[in-house]
Structure 1
């Protein structure tokens, strides 16, 4: 399966040392905090209308890294070949029939987050990290 993804339009590429530093899910929304350490910026992204999400060590996604790694971005909109396509091959994956959804991939130095959502994510905070 070939992954086809593009960098997420509404979020700038801010360096190549991105790390997922916090994930919070409260049944209504998913918030993913990413530290861009070479730019000293901390970004929180909110996903509403979640179909599902998963967190994997980047080593478990190594077959994607020839094309999608931190040199080209850290936040991607997946067009095909991602986790949702893999799940949709299961007969019991009922979300494939529940309407439009989009997959996103957040690439970190250690962890990667795949998110399937029915709505576009929202940037809720950008702040300069404290270097203390």
Structure 2
């Protein structure tokens, strides 16, 4: 299991026009945010919001983009949050067809409050083919 981290996260996505799907959820009364930027600093995805009520998980954003540039992306999550990063791949005939990056956060840092790591959840899914 990964250890919690803080700060901006760097991910690498094949720059060969891969289809990237992003969805973000909040389960917090505080505003949660995610911004994904390419290596030139251009925002390719942004979402901000909070839970609709109490402990309900609320989708705060979704979207897609085509990868490009050098394939290096910065994922900026709610400031000061503790982050559990996760990466996985579905492989077919020796090649990754679906590559996923997931980030789950805990408000105020890894050891703060209820340590639930569900205040913000972001799933970034990279498909091998865009067609």
Question: TM-score higher than 0.5 here?
Answer: no
If the length of structure 1 is used for normalisation, what is the TM-score?
A: 0.28
If the length of structure 2 is used for normalisation, what is the TM-score?
A: 0.28
Considering fraction of residues, name the structure with more helix.
1
